[in-house]
Amino acid sequence: MLSVLEQVRSGAMSPSDAAGQLSDLPYAEVAHAVGSTLIDHHRELRTGVPELVFGAGKTPAQIAGALGELARRGGGAIATRVDPAKAEALRALVPELVVHEAARIVALGAPGTRPAAAPIAVVCAGTSDLPVAEEAALVAEFLGAPVIRISDVGVAGIHRLLARLDAIRDAAVVIAVAGMEAALPSVLGGLVDRPLIAVPTSVGYGVSLDGLVALAAMLASCALGITVVNIDNGVGAAVAAVRIARLAVGERAR
Amino acid sequence: MLSVLEQVRSGAMSPSDAAGQLSDLPYAEVAHAVGSTLIDHHRELRTGVPELVFGAGKTPAQIAGALGELARRGGGAIATRVDPAKAEALRALVPELVVHEAARIVALGAPGTRPAAAPIAVVCAGTSDLPVAEEAALVAEFLGAPVIRISDVGVAGIHRLLARLDAIRDAAVVIAVAGMEAALPSVLGGLVDRPLIAVPTSVGYGVSLDGLVALAAMLASCALGITVVNIDNGVGAAVAAVRIARLAVGERAR
Amino acid sequence: MLSVLEQVRSGAMSPSDAAGQLSDLPYAEVAHAVGSTLIDHHRELRTGVPELVFGAGKTPAQIAGALGELARRGGGAIATRVDPAKAEALRALVPELVVHEAARIVALGAPGTRPAAAPIAVVCAGTSDLPVAEEAALVAEFLGAPVIRISDVGVAGIHRLLARLDAIRDAAVVIAVAGMEAALPSVLGGLVDRPLIAVPTSVGYGVSLDGLVALAAMLASCALGITVVNIDNGVGAAVAAVRIARLAVGERAR
Amino acid sequence: MLSVLEQVRSGAMSPSDAAGQLSDLPYAEVAHAVGSTLIDHHRELRTGVPELVFGAGKTPAQIAGALGELARRGGGAIATRVDPAKAEALRALVPELVVHEAARIVALGAPGTRPAAAPIAVVCAGTSDLPVAEEAALVAEFLGAPVIRISDVGVAGIHRLLARLDAIRDAAVVIAVAGMEAALPSVLGGLVDRPLIAVPTSVGYGVSLDGLVALAAMLASCALGITVVNIDNGVGAAVAAVRIARLAVGERAR
Amino acid sequence: MLSVLEQVRSGAMSPSDAAGQLSDLPYAEVAHAVGSTLIDHHRELRTGVPELVFGAGKTPAQIAGALGELARRGGGAIATRVDPAKAEALRALVPELVVHEAARIVALGAPGTRPAAAPIAVVCAGTSDLPVAEEAALVAEFLGAPVIRISDVGVAGIHRLLARLDAIRDAAVVIAVAGMEAALPSVLGGLVDRPLIAVPTSVGYGVSLDGLVALAAMLASCALGITVVNIDNGVGAAVAAVRIARLAVGERAR
Amino acid sequence: MLSVLEQVRSGAMSPSDAAGQLSDLPYAEVAHAVGSTLIDHHRELRTGVPELVFGAGKTPAQIAGALGELARRGGGAIATRVDPAKAEALRALVPELVVHEAARIVALGAPGTRPAAAPIAVVCAGTSDLPVAEEAALVAEFLGAPVIRISDVGVAGIHRLLARLDAIRDAAVVIAVAGMEAALPSVLGGLVDRPLIAVPTSVGYGVSLDGLVALAAMLASCALGITVVNIDNGVGAAVAAVRIARLAVGERAR
Amino acid sequence: MLSVLEQVRSGAMSPSDAAGQLSDLPYAEVAHAVGSTLIDHHRELRTGVPELVFGAGKTPAQIAGALGELARRGGGAIATRVDPAKAEALRALVPELVVHEAARIVALGAPGTRPAAAPIAVVCAGTSDLPVAEEAALVAEFLGAPVIRISDVGVAGIHRLLARLDAIRDAAVVIAVAGMEAALPSVLGGLVDRPLIAVPTSVGYGVSLDGLVALAAMLASCALGITVVNIDNGVGAAVAAVRIARLAVGERAR
Amino acid sequence: MLSVLEQVRSGAMSPSDAAGQLSDLPYAEVAHAVGSTLIDHHRELRTGVPELVFGAGKTPAQIAGALGELARRGGGAIATRVDPAKAEALRALVPELVVHEAARIVALGAPGTRPAAAPIAVVCAGTSDLPVAEEAALVAEFLGAPVIRISDVGVAGIHRLLARLDAIRDAAVVIAVAGMEAALPSVLGGLVDRPLIAVPTSVGYGVSLDGLVALAAMLASCALGITVVNIDNGVGAAVAAVRIARLAVGERAR
């Protein structure tokens, strides 16, 4: 912005041309069309996190195009919510893709060097919640944070959770993944002093309402200081946790 | 019924008169109108539990009338959901009433001798849940069951619950009362082998939806074998628990 | 726990080592990983009921692994919510499996000797509700309780229900299974003095909302003492009923 | 309409004037402004039922004005949903008003001679449902139908209902009023061959959702041929029943 | 019942045997098992309408069995909610079946002579609502009522509806079928004096919520006297209408 | 913005100072704090419509302050959702206020000269919907549009609506206000070719759900081209209509 | 209508024949049955917009028939919600069809000359919202309005939106298409003075509730003057926008 | 715990006594009954945050008791959700209380020295959201974090938000408070790289559903990395933010 203003001072640019450029600037620099999708290379500068391709509802060709454009600038790229059939089709298009089946993630290129981050604990209530937990873990690792994985510690066997508390306390921030009645974050929230991000999953049936009850139970928790993301949103939890984990080691994206 | 049929055999009653009597019988014997309310004295014979007056939406005069009619036959009578103003008005009408303010219950007459029952634990998550817990405890006692009260053992301080487990295990059946995210029954359900009845309360705000989320979370619990009653329904939980507690000492109402 | 403490007294173990062991103890003894699933052999000791494999959302291989590990210790094992295709695949993996098609259950090994239990009545409103009723019945039998099956006694033909009352009263506890408007438990609740567990089913269409209305109607019942489980949750009802039925014959798991 | 067309033929009216009159005709004849309310005297001709003033949300003056205008033409007039305070204020304005307190209805003038109608049974599940049942009964009587009142026959005491079946069968059409789980119409629907109109009430708490569950349960009933009106809508049920009851004696409004 | 009582008088039966028979009587006479389904031949006597097989969720074999048993006694039999694939499979099993594809109905045998009934108008808002309307029309005809079909008279082209009013008024009772915002019954309700049964359909998308909004709009209608059935429930509307239409010609089932 | 850039060219301002000013500009010019409320005088320039004070949840003093600040610049000011008690308190503070009781609006100062606008028809289904309709009408008039008021034309008396069609067609844009089942816009939408804005009201009870059903029915309407605003949102409908009505006479705010 | 009345005056038609014709007139002239569908050729005269075939739930043959009948009179015809498989089948039936795949629209014949209209901006938040946006754009163009397309300007990159404001302001009316939290219209509503129609899409997962939250958020917007259509209803938004855009150039359909 | 184990080693305590003490330990040390409320002094050690008294549903005496007990140990104490009447009553009981009226908070004693924390920005969309924002701000300050307050920056005037971005970026963590459609966090989430906690408020009417739509919109946001708390839960947001802000300066509670 200053460079445009300098040009105005020097007479190299007229005020009205400058007015036009100033409003286009942030966008023009970074937008790069891939088919009908605009890739926002500027986003990592602005928010500390690059675009992550949301694979649901996109064709293999669209995903491949987006990953290619993102990875072209270095730092690698990942797409989430890629089911096995789509992953297969993608691998046919881009053989060097790495597929993480359980997490429904595909990755292209080596993750770039990103700001340092403190460890993140991903704590998972039941085995059916694992895909969401693993999505969170892989995204956190892609963004540069070390991850401590703790699984199958649902509250119906509270001893299992208590036995893992020290491992959980080694992390700077905790992601708790649970479906059904989602009591795990409430119990954890009374036991640890770390920021705690709860991820409800759509695991359950009948009155579980596809995860809505887990979500609401987490929000209504009697334990203060729990924050929550959308149902099955492992990606969002990871991004939030990484922002915190960077702060914990004194890093900021800008 | 047999007596009617005997009369038919002896010719003392015509078959068509008998047909009429047989359909009216169960009702005619026990119905006794108090204003527009019919008191079903037969209910205790049929279901083991007498009528309990639901005070919400009734006038003090209606409550007083129903309690008087029920107590007239012995065994005492109670009304639930009686707020302080209504209790005051009732005491003006029936000075010998006993008022249990926290539980919103009024009682008339000494509880009768009812079938023996094993102890029932009433476990309460938070202090705001106490009115519902106390309603359950008093109704259980009125029906003849000893009650063990355990309060303020919400899961956000899990140690408090673990410290009281032995006391809880002294009961034959457990009533767990909780609002907000209602995680208490899930944790308890993995720790005890007793029948466990969960009572959601309307404690909470925002996404708690006046107890609907607590209710749904209890029903969606990952711990098997929990059964649930309506929101704030301490009475229903007590009746269910007493039926079980009587079985546990070999008693049945008939 | 006492054995660890004895070792501390004898000097065979240092206090700090003991502290570590004490928190891991309940978990370490019983956990046995089968792939990513942890089998909790300790659960039957703690809650009186072994793990029952929830087959929905698990692969045939995962189910087979879990059943094998559970049955290895004796007492047999069952998995629920196994649809016909999955049952076929399972039988290919484990030929000795027994498949109960209507109930969507597969069983491995002979059920062990479990605590004695009084009879349980499973009462079913309509033929569409039979899969859920049969799931409840088979799980109750697996856990050692005799079952009395009463079918097709919906309230739109009240005579059919009244004709079966004596059979229902032979049980110590009643499971009532109904979909649509789910009026069966309300009628039953006024006729029997046994503990009554209501199971709503997802049978119905339009305003039935996949069983939510049946569930809510059961919870809102005017008959006191009915308790309710999640929609289609035959397993949960069976576990709750068995805990009660054991009490009725003076048995407890520990 | 024919008279206007005759005038056109005779030349007494031009075609364009006739066009104007024809569209205004049905409205102009009957509208008579009372303050900002238009009284539709034509409605009884068109639908067989006069306007009934819905008192909720209207001031005493507005209700008095509307009743006066309606009664002016003969046949009397009634207003519903008039709470005690409003009824008191109305009686100050119009001393000759008759107040039916339990039904929340006020009436002005003698009901006119209306078409004959067969008897209507108004069957009520619990005493808390009585205000809605009485609203239905009084409106039906105002419209000229004899009413058979059957109260306190909820399904939790099924004998009471069975004992009253013959009285119910004396009616040509049945209105069943129930709150909570609203099982009464399902049971009745399997026992009688009359048209059956179900009225859910807002009686209940917690999961009853102010009558929504009663409404949905009635609509989801397993008994065919039940039709349903809005929650607490005794008026609507009465109007529907009267239309049927008139048919049953061969009457039609036109 | 009287015959049993006569036997008691004559000494041919002991009172206690009679007591047993009396409770089994209504059921034993009419129940006839077809596989796991009980056919209630008694229902037509009791309610004026025979069992109608609900085809959804039943196998072709179950439907064929039920239809055969019902038709065996004469009077024909029909099954509803039979999709094309199931109809094909049924025709392979029972070649003499008649398939009504648009209405998703299959029929076996000639409808019996049933009580006379006045004409019923089935009025349908849009072409997408036709399957439900046709289901209602065919069931009404099966039960012996003549049907007047009026289609494509949605309120967005109000002239189409007004042009058909005389045809609609030829009926004794009107069934109005509509989806989306379901305004048809409100407009009709202000124009006719016949009993009016509204059937909401699941036609629509987005905020239509699969017919819930159409249902609620019908129940909330400003036109008095409309009654409503479950979403897409053409059968229920037909049964209700036939009961009324029989009254209109002085017929009753018993 | 250009003036700042001119200063940069002339050297009167440094580029970095300009950068600071450019981001603050739109805000700094127009913000003027009144207590904790910021009045956005710029809004009318940007959107063509000045701030309208939403009175619900504000104290009389806050409303008076906001109105005073807005009116200070000329053009008058209004506040909506002012109940009678608050209006009384306001008039004590600001005696020159004009109170429109039915519409719950208070106005200060003469409305300024605003862009010309074509007539707007405000069509109202029932008398209970009048407060919302009058709110829309008064706001439209305040913003400079002539208003045609058409009341009490609900669809249950369709003739009343048809008789007023010509008056409605005199407007360039139509606002249709209706509660309960809200069928009015569907009928109107098939009769007029003007833009049609539907306003659901919270009039109704039971299944009306405080206006949610009226809202959903309007959105699900079978008549194309209807747009909808929030429940009871007469203000929003008026602003949208005025924007359209200005276009219809060739006016734009800028 | 006048011609019929003239005939009455001249004696060429009797008054009673005229009465019959007058009620049938609007309908008889334009109805033309294509199978069971009635094509309303009159609609464009009445509302300014011809019938647009809603393809969902119709067979290819039904769609082809309706398009053929509509196009026969000139002006072309389009069908919406035609998925790729159905489009393929349609093209086999009607080879000259034009298929717009992204918008799920098929068109037959050249659009006729329709009233002039000002430009409409279709602004789209994300690439997943494009099918709905393109549906709106193509329908607007079919109805004769020029369209300005602005894509991928979601609020999470607010610069992209600000950079396109001038292009948006070139339109007379704005359609804003957004899913998920649907914040786009709120931001736009504070920046432009044009009529703004918001279209929520079903894009999103979990708590998005298939577009219900986007819909509600648009209706609850803090920016005044936004109007909203049903979820994914690009057609309805286009029709509403075209009605406005015609007004903006002084055109009306009649 | 180690001290108990040391006593066992030294023989000062028997193993079985130790077993008893070990389970009671965490609880017994810290519990101190105040009436029926248990104050958990241990909580700050465990979770870094002391008990904060939730004033809704507690009597003034209960609040005063709890505050007194908490403040007795030093560090001060606060109660939230204290409405003006309750605050008045409290001040009569405890004159030295400080009342923060806008935030509905009362405080007793000077806040203790707590761990250092980086600045927290509390960003508020509208003036009606201020009470929740101020609750968050005061609780954060009580827990030792400096707070940057940014108010009235709703998205309908996006310039106001953009002008304050630099101030927002001075914080380590951002709390965004918004009601109605709650678009603020989505816009902010694309502009800052800090952890962002969104607090929905119950501000709004009609379709806002008392804050549920704001909550859902925040959870469905297209901007990654936003986490959310319950409606109006300023306390929970503050606790979560403080945990993060402490990490940002290298502090941990233990």
DSSP codes of every residue in H57-124: T--HHHHHHHHHHHHHTSS-EEEES--HHHHHHHHHH-TT-EEETTTTEEEESPPPP------EEEEE
C-alpha separations of E153 from B89, E70, E124, E150, E214 in Å: 59, 37, 6, 7, 16
Query: Which one is predicted more confidently, D92 or E2?
Result: D92
- Per-residue model confidence (pLDDT) at position G9: 76
Instruction: Please report, rounded to a whole number, the percentage of residues in chain A having pLDDT higher than 70.
Output: 87
Strand partners, H107: H78, H98
Q: What is the tens place of the pLDDT at every residue in H15-36?
A: 767 766 654 444 433 333 444 5
Residues of D whose CB is below 8 A from C220: 180-181, 204, 206-208, 213-214
- Per-residue model confidence (pLDDT) at position B20: 62
Chain C neighbours (≥3 Cβ pairs under 8 A) are A, B, D, E, H
- Per-residue model confidence (pLDDT) at position B47: 80
How large is the average pLDDT for residues H106-129?
Answer: 92
**Structure token pair of residue F67:** 């109105």
- Per-residue model confidence (pLDDT) at position A22: 60
Q: Which of E26-40, E134-148, F33-47 has the lowest mean pLDDT?
A: E26-40
Residue G38: which pLDDT band, with cuts at 50, 70 and 90? low
| DSSP letter, residue G160 | H
> How far is residue A175's CA from residue A145's CA, in Å, rounded to a whole number?
13
Test mutation, E247, E249, E252, E254, chain D, max D CBs within 10 A: E247
- Per-residue model confidence (pLDDT) at position C39: 67
Q: What is the tens place of the pLDDT at every residue in G131-180?
A: 999 999 999 999 999 999 998 888 888 888 888 888 999 999 999 999 99
Query: Which one is predicted more confidently, D191 or F33?
Result: D191
Q: By the 8 A CB rule, do E136 and E148 touch? A: no
Residue H41: which pLDDT band, with cuts at 50, 70 and 90? low
Residues of C whose CB is below 8 A from A206: 200, 202, 210-211, 215, 230-233
Residue at token pair 């009797």: G14
Verify whether the Cβ–Cβ distance C232 to A206 is below 8 Å: yes
> How far is residue F66's CA from residue C119's CA, in Å, rounded to a whole number?
74
- Chain A contact for F7, CB < 8 A? no
Q: What is the tens place of the pLDDT at every residue in B91-149?
A: 999 999 999 998 999 999 988 889 999 999 999 998 889 999 999 999 999 999 999 99
Does the pLDDT of residue D62 top 90, yes or no? no
> How far is Cα of residue B188 from the mean position of the Cα atoms in its chain?
22
Does the pLDDT of residue E31 top 60, yes or no? no
What does pTM read for this prediction?
0.90
Query: Which one is predicted more confidently, B162 or A199?
Result: A199
Q: Are strands H37-40 and H31-34 parallel, antiparallel or unpaired?
A: antiparallel
- Chain F contact for E4, CB < 8 A? no
Q: Which of C31-35, D162-166, G232-236, H86-90 has the lowest mean pLDDT?
A: C31-35
Chain G neighbours (≥3 Cβ pairs under 8 A) are A, D, E, F, H
Q: What is the tens place of the pLDDT at every residue in C42-66?
A: 677 777 888 899 999 888 998 999 8
C-alpha separations of H108 from F20, H65, H71 in Å: 43, 11, 7
**Structure token pair of residue D196:** 């059956």
Helix axes B15-28, E2-9, angle to 10 degrees: 110
- Per-residue model confidence (pLDDT) at position E39: 67
Nearest to E225 among D46, D49, D248 (CB): D49
> How far is residue D144's CA from residue A63's CA, in Å, rounded to a whole number?
72
> How far is residue G40's CA from residue E157's CA, in Å, rounded to a whole number?
8
- Per-residue model confidence (pLDDT) at position A253: 36
Instruction: Please report, rounded to a whole number, the percentage of residues in chain F having pLDDT higher than 70.
Output: 87
Does the pLDDT of residue F117 top 50, yes or no? yes
Q: What is the tens place of the pLDDT at every residue in B15-73?
A: 767 766 664 444 433 333 444 556 666 677 778 888 899 998 888 998 999 899 888 87
- Chain H contact for F218, CB < 8 A? no
How large is the average pLDDT for residues A129-148?
Answer: 96
Query: Which one is predicted more confidently, F237 or D23?
Result: F237
Residue A38: which pLDDT band, with cuts at 50, 70 and 90? low
Interface predicted TM-score (ipTM) = 0.86
User: Which residues have CB under 8 Å from A11's CB, separation 6+?
Assistant: F9
Nearest to A239 among H118, H190, H225 (CB): H225
Verify whether the Cβ–Cβ distance F8 to A5 is below 8 Å: yes
Residue F98: which pLDDT band, with cuts at 50, 70 and 90? very high
Gap between the terminal Cα atoms of chain H: 17
As a residue count, chain A comes to: 254
Verify whether the Cβ–Cβ distance G155 to H182 is below 8 Å: no
Verify whether the Cβ–Cβ distance C155 to D183 is below 8 Å: yes
Shortest Cα distance from B228 to chain C (angstroms)? 5
Does the pLDDT of residue D105 top 90, yes or no? yes
Q: By the 8 A CB rule, do B233 and D206 touch? A: yes
> How far is Cα of residue G21 from the mean position of the Cα atoms in its chain?
33
- Per-residue model confidence (pLDDT) at position C25: 44
- Per-residue model confidence (pLDDT) at position A147: 97
Does the pLDDT of residue H127 top 50, yes or no? yes
Shortest Cα distance from E116 to chain D (angstroms)? 13
Residue A220: which pLDDT band, with cuts at 50, 70 and 90? very high
Q: By the 8 A CB rule, do D106 and D87 touch? A: yes
As a residue count, chain C comes to: 254
Chains D and C touch (3+ CB pairs under 8 A): yes
Three-class SS of D18-46: HHHHHHHHHHHCCEEEECCEEEECCHHHH
Does the pLDDT of residue A104 top 90, yes or no? yes
Q: What is the tens place of the pLDDT at every residue in A77-103?
A: 999 999 999 999 999 999 999 999 989
Residues of H whose CB is below 8 A from B159: 26-27
Residue G230: which pLDDT band, with cuts at 50, 70 and 90? very high
Q: What is the tens place of the pLDDT at every residue in H171-199?
A: 999 999 999 999 999 999 988 989 999 99
- Per-residue model confidence (pLDDT) at position F29: 35
Q: Are strands E147-150 and E105-108 parallel, antiparallel or unpaired?
A: unpaired
Does the pLDDT of residue F32 top 60, yes or no? no
Beta-strand ranges (E) seen in B37-146 are: 37-40, 53-54, 77-80, 98-100, 105-108, 120-124
Instruction: Please report, rounded to a whole number, the percentage of residues in chain E having pLDDT higher than 70.
Output: 87
Does the pLDDT of residue E33 top 60, yes or no? no
- Per-residue model confidence (pLDDT) at position D238: 98
Verify whether the Cβ–Cβ distance B182 to A217 is below 8 Å: yes
- Per-residue model confidence (pLDDT) at position D72: 84
Shortest Cα distance from C239 to chain A (angstroms)? 15
Does the pLDDT of residue H1 top 80, yes or no? no
Query: Which one is predicted more confidently, H241 or D114?
Result: H241
- Per-residue model confidence (pLDDT) at position C83: 94
Does the pLDDT of residue C38 top 80, yes or no? no
Q: By the 8 A CB rule, do E4 and E22 touch? A: yes
pLDDT, chain B, mean:
87
Instruction: Please report, rounded to a whole number, the percentage of residues in chain H having pLDDT higher than 90.
Output: 58
Q: What is the tens place of the pLDDT at every residue in D1-51?
A: 667 767 777 878 877 677 666 544 444 333 334 445 666 666 777 788 888
